[in-house]
Structure 1
Amino acid sequence: MAPSALPGHGKNALVVGASRGMGRQVAVDLALKGGYAVGVAAKTRSPPGAALDGVDPNSPESTVDTVAHDIVKAGGRAHAVTVDVRDENSVKAMVEEAVQKFGKLDVLVYNSGAIWWASVKDTPLKRFQLMQRVNPEGLYATVSCALPHLAEDARVVVVSPPIYSRFTRGKTAYAMGKFGMSALTLGLAQDWKREASPPRKAITSLWPAAAIDSAATRHNDPSGETRKDLRKATIFSDAVLAILAAPPERVNGLLTTDEDFLRDAAGVRDFAQYSLVPGTAPRRIMPAVFPSLRVAEEDDEGVRMNSVALRQAKL
């Protein structure tokens, strides 16, 4: 396929949390499969003079510098950007740098995340606060800063799950933040539906249906005994590309998994290609069917309060 025929040719993407694992794979495939110019954003940078070639994508040595280097070396366009998503000024600077480098943002992917899976009793308040700052607050800051710079047909992909009961088990504090991220997807999608019908922009939450090989899975299982239950990160990046190719009304406000979207919207039937260990069938960790969050009175919200209008009326 010629570069001019690539679906993202001439378009720009910003991937936040792209130094390793799924985020890295999404950034690489947006650039090399999708033809996007990609802002590769995360907190970690390589030391001056550090080797950038041949770095393990799930190791601490994988940074925004090595990812951008790999993309450019393979013929893509990429720019490394530093960000601490807990700091609003840092988020603003990241967005401004990406926009100055590439122009309007056609795609925004938020993959940054902090994780601590334990019972409420075993989750210190500081751990809870860190997860809220990185997960829902970091997402909200990033989206807020990016909104003025989004293209008219922009897409946003959030790494957060469908909302269902079992997800809270043994990780309540983590689930509170992740469900908050999915709530932002639902709410912003409704904002965009009010702006245009059908909507021109779309925001989607995407989550792995089976565990994916990452720095976290390697840290939790140094012996590698659970490798047979892992998939390659390419399943997630393929799902992101499929979401970007779908009509906005199909994916705006959608909470889904990589496997489900690839099967339902892209016609993928062979998921063995994504198994980390050839010949294995990784166990699905998400439910086969998710509950619907829609209610019968979905479009009847009565008189909606608008805090901005109320404040202006008091001035």
Structure 2
Amino acid sequence: MMATTQQVALIVGASRGIGRQVAIDLSKNGYTVVVAAKTVSDASKANPWPPNPNSQQSTISTVVREIEELGGRAAAIQVDTRDFTSVTNMVNQTVSLFGRIDVLVYNSGAIWWASVANTPMKRFQLMQRVNPEGLYGTIHAALPVFERQGWQARIIVVSPPIYSRFFRGKTAYAMGKVGMSILTKGMAVDFEREGKTGMAITSIWPAAAIESAATQNPQTDRRELRKALIQKTIYSDAILAMIRAPVDQVNGQLELDEDFLRKTGVTDFSKYSLVPGSEPRRIMPAELPDLTVAEQDDEGRRMDSAKLKKGSKI
């Protein structure tokens, strides 16, 4: 084990784009960072250097090299989030290297925006395995670690608020992403009911589009993008603010990056524009639905399948 006095952040899906920048920015803010994703390479042979952060040349190996050249501390762990054994190995390796996990960011994602008729079954299955199943497996594998360290940690999930317009034209993708948001809501309730007052899970989603591998296409107007690279990136700033916020302010919340930063007092968002002087179009509703109901506290008779199974002779 490498001794460290820094807090440890495990970033899943950090080989390029937004995940890469979050890893770099958390390192700049004093975290030891574990950079996890599928793609690895020989970073010493990367040419050009640094590689295009939105290209296949950017890997967990090159991200670690970038962090180390900036004076930070990082390690690369290869993971296939579709494989629970691989996910468990990632968590175990992180603890073996650094002893703990203080922040877990799940940024891995598979994307396909099309109608149901134009979404092949294999594409649907890929999205469900990488998005909700990968998230569930990662959190499940990390829970024993959180328990050993006294239930003191933060979980950040890249998933959206729940609202009807999100389902249009991308139903298969929305099924998985909304499932991730439901996990955020449900896990938060578990933490509260079980008295885990040092734990918080929060979802984050962009209010305006952010430059990433998904926006590298001719259909994208760069004036409508916020930057994910270099200085002052809105996603990293919002995640850092979430990690630092009191548990009761963020646990179970489905937040938009811009709106959350406004709550912390940020008013100038021009610094985040990819094209200087542009005002990226907001892609999210100004107001989102309240998911609670009048009978919120009336659950009837609760059932615990885990307890039922323990008492069963089957």
Which interval holds the TM-score relative to the shorter structure?
over 0.9
Contact in 1 for aligned 2:12/2:35 (Cα 8 Å):
yes
How far has the Cα of 1:51 moved from its partner?
A: 1.9
2:292 to 266, 291, 294: 294
| TM-score, reference length from structure 2 | 0.93
2:40 match: 45
Corresponding residue of 1:196: 195
1:102 aligned to which of 98, 114, 117: 98
Query: Mean alpha-carbon deviation: is it higher for 182-191 or for 40-49?
Result: 40-49
Measured in 2, the distance between the counterparts of 1:109 and 1:94 equals 13
What is the aligned counterpart of 1:215 among 184, 193, 213?
213
1:263 matched residue in structure 2:
262
Q: Do the aligned residues in 1 keep the contact of 2:43 with 2:65 (CA within 8 Å)?
A: no
**How far 1:248 moved relative to its partner?**
0.6
Report the CA distance between 1:9 and its aligned residue: 6.2
Which residue pairs with 1:228 in the alignment? 223
Mapped pair 1:148 → 2:147: no
Match of 1:4 in 2: none
The offset of 1:299, in angstroms, is 2.1
Q: Deviations over 1:230-289 (max 9, x none)?
A: 00121001100000010011100000110010011x211110000000000000001011
Distance in 1, matches of 2:139 and 2:14, equals: 16
Cα distance between partner residues in 2 of 1:68 and 1:47: 11
Matches of 2:161 and 2:28 in 1, distance apart? 29
How many pairs were matched up? 302
Alignment RMSD, CA only?
1.5
Out of 266, 269, 274, the residue aligned to residue 272 of structure 2 is 274
Offset, 1:47: 3.9
Counterpart for residue 5 of structure 1:
none
Q: What secondary structure is seen at the aligned counterpart in 2 of 1:314? A: coil
The alignment partner of 2:176 has SS state of helix
2:22 matches 1:26: yes
Q: Is the 8 A contact 1:9 1:36 kept in 2?
A: no
Counterpart residue type for residue 297 of structure 1: E
TM-superposed CA distance for 1:302, in Å, is 1.9
Shift of 1:81: 0.6
Q: Which residue number corresponds to residue 183 of structure 2?
A: 184
CA contact (8 A) 2:42 2:61 kept: no
Pairing 1:243–2:242 present: yes
Distance in 2 of aligned mates of 1:49 and 1:228: 35
Q: Which moved more, 1:293-302 or 1:81-90?
A: 293-302
> 5+ residue gaps in structure 1?
1-7
Q: Which one-letter code corresponds to 1:275 in the other structure?
A: S
**Deviation digits for residues 190-246 of structure 1, max 9, x if unmatched?**
00001117x22000000011110011101x227xx6100000121001100000010
Matched, 1:57 2:53: yes
Aligned residues of 1:107 and 1:156 also touching (Cα < 8 A): yes
Identify unmatched segments of 5+ residues in structure 2. none
Q: What is the letter of the counterpart of residue 255 of structure 2?
A: T
Does 2:134 match 1:138?
A: yes
* TM-score, normalisation: structure 1: 0.93
Deviates more, 1:285-294 or 1:48-57: 48-57
Match for residue 69 of structure 2?
73
**8 Å CA contact retained: 2:204, 2:254:** yes
